[in-house]
């Protein structure tokens, strides 16, 4: 028998050997229209699949997250069918679903143009109307090779030769057949809302010595409204692109003479960074951390002991010889914090140690993946390491997770999603330690009441972890905080403390990055606020604008008064009309614009405009300062 779990949670038992289509036939018509494939135990399958004895089967509906991947994979096949109709000599490579859509790689007789995308889309719409069922075929490997070779599909031949299975699967829709594991939609008519977005070059198998193929990207949704919403989101994201705003607001730059992926923080960006760092340090001290500082490089023997030269060398920058010793630039701070721990013997009475550092590290990233502030080669990580006894460990996890949430909330983030990654097959550390650490992480998550998912087997080989993602103003998820146990380095470096029994014991070691890296977090902040930073973060909090040249002396007095009271202010006394200078300040997203003319000079007041509210009238200095200080203190 097979257990069918229905969407309302109810269950029914059916005979094994029947297909998903037969199960569907017995359901309500409204539900039948919603189901696109099956989940048999943990694997997705077509509706035509036979149900094995003892299995638990769930119906995957359009609204289920897994359904979108199936739709997009099927739409990639529809696109390939359209391309083959328009370019019969095209050779097929691969066509997977990806995070925001799908792509397919083709070997084509000529370079594609934007007009070709329009023609391919039109042909895809015909295929959707023709309503071809996706039909799975199982073929012996040798027969598959013969078939594909006869069709000239050399890329598919290469893929099949690498498979270990005796049989391979193909999917047919109409005249088009493609090598594929599946699953797919019941038929092409389900793919009604799609759009081809771009053309790019892609080396076969990502190898620059292999042929360059043409990659067509697209996206698909189950209805037109979702598709239109997606493109509206893309347009909004373009407006918020931190690289564009970084130039316009003069926050940072990347200079090719210095090198790709290496960030130059301009004065305005530097001011924001200073505010972030000062706040970070103050909060860490309040939360029982001590600040440490470590070098930018260390002897290669350090990285041999830590294991980085064994499993991370390709991401490290090459060695340099100094007085016969090889040194490497650091990709991580943890071995240095361990060295501080090892500088003398430690007692159980001293633990826990909470050591934090804004440590700059360097990692090799391929030029193709570099992306403004979000993917760089040099960055400052807000690193911390906690060394504690087993009995202290659960409380430390509670404490660090609460601290992460508090810090991120201070920057205006309100929506969070947590991910618990558990022990993979290959790992180091005892079962007892893994179990205790995983239990502490899960308990800490559950105390927050926030939504979370368990990534079974998704932990690093050296320990389980929590990844904390934030949602920005556009609803996009960003990875920030990580709380990661490490059972590897304490063993490699032989970390110990003297217990109450006089014996040596190994401490728990917990890595913790809170903001992630200052560069990446700054990029997220720029896009979240569209460059219009809240007052406490704004690089220029107020700009003083004299109406006429004769008002410049009083304007200078207001400017000096603001600076004396800790307000980051600028004075714009250019020989331009006041309306023009106000518009310029608005474009620079300055929170407060203080206009001073002859009346204000006589009364000692200022005319106040804000970025959000416009003209607020004439205020006294005391009123203005009280409002600004309150806004800064509450981070509103």
pLDDT at residue number 7: 80
Q: Which residue has the tokens 């996206």?
A: 219
Let me know if 242 is a catalytic residue. no
pLDDT at residue number 262: 97
| Better-scored residue on pLDDT, 192 or 8 | 192
Let me know if 383 is a catalytic residue. yes
pLDDT at residue number 158: 96
Q: Which residue has the tokens 């038929």?
A: 187
pLDDT at residue number 472: 93
The pLDDT tens digits for 140-175 are: 999 999 999 999 999 999 999 999 999 999 999 999
pLDDT at residue number 30: 81
From 465, 512, 581, 609, active-site residue:
465
pLDDT at residue number 206: 87
Q: Tell me the C-alpha distance between 396 and 288, whole Å.
A: 11
Mean per-residue pLDDT of the chain: 94
pLDDT at residue number 488: 93
Let me know if 39 is a catalytic residue. no
Confidence band of 8 (pLDDT split at 50, 70, 90): confident
pLDDT at residue number 26: 80
Confidence band of 19 (pLDDT split at 50, 70, 90): confident
From 334, 388, 404, 480, active-site residue:
334
Let me know if 385 is a catalytic residue. yes
Q: What percent of the chain has pLDDT over 90?
A: 86
- Angle (CA) 505-510-513 rounded to 5° is 160
Say yes or no to pLDDT of 319 above 80.
no
187 sits in the region (left: phi over 0; alpha: psi -120 to 50; else beta) called: beta
**Residue 235: how many other CB atoms lie within 10 Å:** 9
pLDDT at residue number 471: 93
Let me know if 363 is a catalytic residue. yes
From 385, 423, 568, 609, active-site residue:
385
Mean pLDDT, residues 253-273 taken together? 97
The pLDDT tens digits for 279-318 are: 999 999 999 999 999 999 999 999 999 988 888 888 899 7
pLDDT at residue number 463: 95
**Residue 413: how many other CB atoms lie within 10 Å:** 20
Indicate if the alpha-carbon torsion angle 475, 476, 481, 482 is positive or negative: positive
Q: Tell me the C-alpha distance between 482 and 357, whole Å.
A: 15
The half-sphere exposure of 355 on its side-chain side, counting CA atoms within 13 A, is: 19
pLDDT at residue number 129: 97
Say yes or no to pLDDT of 117 above 90.
yes
Determine what percent of the chain falls in helix, strand and coil, rounding each to the nearest 5.
40, 30, 35
Q: Tell me the C-alpha distance between 402 and 481, whole Å.
A: 11
pLDDT at residue number 361: 96
- Helix/strand/coil for 162: coil
Let me know if 224 is a catalytic residue. no
| Better-scored residue on pLDDT, 424 or 368 | 424
Q: What percent of the chain has pLDDT over 70?
A: 100
Say yes or no to pLDDT of 44 above 80.
yes
The pLDDT tens digits for 467-522 are: 999 999 998 999 999 999 999 999 999 999 999 999 999 999 999 999 999 999 99
| Better-scored residue on pLDDT, 32 or 263 | 263
Let me know if 184 is a catalytic residue. no
Judge if the upstream peptide bond of residue 463 is cis by omega within 30 degrees of 0.
no
Q: Tell me the C-alpha distance between 105 and 93, whole Å.
A: 5
Delineate the domains of the chain, giving CATH numbers in brackets. 2-61 (3.10.20.30), 70-231 (3.30.980.10), 252-294+330-529 (3.30.930.10), 542-634 (3.40.50.800)
The pLDDT tens digits for 326-347 are: 999 999 999 999 999 999 999 9
Mean pLDDT, residues 229-257 taken together? 95
pLDDT at residue number 309: 87
Q: What are the DSSP calls for 364-433, one per residue?
A: ---GGG-BTTTB-SEEEEEEEEEEE-TTTHHHHHHHHHHHHHHHHHHTT---EEEEEE---SS--S-HHH
Residue 141: Cβ-neighbour burial (10 angstroms; 0-12, 13-18, 19+): middle
H or E stretch covering 253? strand 252-253
């Amino acid at each position: 028998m097979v257990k069918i779990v229905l969407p309302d949670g109810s269950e029914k038992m059916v005979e094994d050997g029947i297909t998903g289509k037969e199960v569907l036939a017995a359901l309500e018509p409204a539900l039948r229209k919603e189901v696109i494939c099956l989940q048999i135990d943990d694997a997705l399958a077509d509706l035509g699949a036979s149900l094995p004895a003892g299995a638990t089967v769930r119906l995957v509906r359009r609204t289920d997250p897994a359904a979108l991947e199936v739709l997009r994979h099927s739409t990639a096949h529809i696109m390939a069918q359209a391309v083959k109709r328009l370019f019969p000599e095209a050779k097929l490579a691969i066509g997977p679903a990806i995070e925001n859509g799908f792509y397919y790689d083709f070997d084509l007789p000529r370079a594609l143009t934007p007009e070709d995308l329009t023609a391919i889309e039109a042909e895809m719409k015909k295929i959707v109307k023709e309503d071809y069922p996706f039909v799975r075929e199982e073929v012996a490997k040798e027969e598959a090779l013969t078939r594909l070779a006869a069709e000239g599909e050399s890329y598919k031949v290469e893929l099949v030769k690498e498979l270990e299975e005796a049989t391979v699967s193909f999917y047919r829709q109409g005249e088009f057949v493609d090598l594929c594991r599946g699953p797919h939609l019941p038929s092409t008519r389900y793919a009604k809302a799609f759009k081809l977005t771009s053309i790019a070059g892609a080396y076969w198998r990502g190898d620059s010595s292999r042929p360059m193929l043409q990659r067509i990207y697209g996206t698909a949704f189950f209805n037109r409204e979702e598709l239109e919403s997606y493109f509206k989101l893309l347009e909004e994201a373009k407006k918020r692109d931190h690289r564009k705003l970084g130039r316009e607001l003069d926050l940072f730059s990347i200079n090719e003479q210095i090198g790709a992926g290496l960030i130059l923080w301009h004065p305005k960006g530097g001011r924001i960074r200073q505010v972030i760092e000062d706040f970070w340090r103050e909060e860490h001290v309040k939360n029982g951390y001590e600040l440490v500082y470590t070098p930018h490089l260390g002897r290669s023997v350090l990285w041999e002991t830590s294991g980085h030269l064994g499993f991370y060398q390709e991401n490290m920058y090459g060695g340099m010889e100094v007085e016969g010793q090889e040194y490497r630039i650091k990709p991580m701070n943890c071995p240095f914090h361990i060295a501080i721990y090892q500088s003398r013997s430690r007692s159980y009475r001293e633990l826990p140690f909470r050591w934090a550092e804004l440590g700059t590290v360097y990692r090799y990233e391929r030029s193709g993946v570099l992306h403004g502030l979000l993917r760089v080669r040099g960055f400052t990580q807000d690193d911390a390491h906690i060394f504690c006894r087993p009995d202290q460990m659960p409380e430390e996890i509670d404490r660090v997770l609460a601290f992460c949430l508090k810090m991120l909330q201070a920057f205006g983030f309100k929506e969070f999603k947590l991910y618990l990654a558990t022990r993979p097959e290959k790992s180091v550390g005892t079962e007892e330690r893994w179990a205790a650490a995983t239990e502490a992480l899960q308990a800490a998550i559950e105390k927050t009441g926030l939504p979370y998912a368990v990534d079974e087997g998704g932990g690093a080989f050296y320990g389980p972890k929590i990844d904390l993602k934030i949602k920005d103003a556009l609803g996009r998820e960003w990875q920030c905080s990580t709380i990661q146990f490490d059972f590897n380095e304490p063993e490699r470096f032989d970390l110990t403390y003297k217990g109450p029994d006089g014996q040596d014991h190994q401490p728990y070691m917990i890595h913790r990055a809170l903001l992630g890296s200052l560069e990446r977090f700054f990029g997220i902040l720029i896009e979240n606020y569209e460059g219009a930073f809240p007052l406490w973060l704004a690089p220029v909090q107020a700009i003083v604008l004299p109406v006429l040249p004769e008002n410049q002396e009083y304007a200078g007095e207001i400017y000096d008064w603001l600076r004396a009271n800790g307000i980051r202010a600028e004075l714009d006394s250019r020989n331009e009309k006041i309306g023009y200078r106000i518009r310029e300040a608005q474009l620079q997203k300055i929170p407060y614009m203080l206009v001073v003319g002859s009346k204000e000079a006589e009364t000692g007041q200022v005319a106040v405009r804000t970025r959000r509210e416009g003209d607020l009238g004439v205020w006294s200095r005391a009123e203005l300062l009280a409002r600004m200080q309150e806004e800064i203190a509450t981070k509103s």
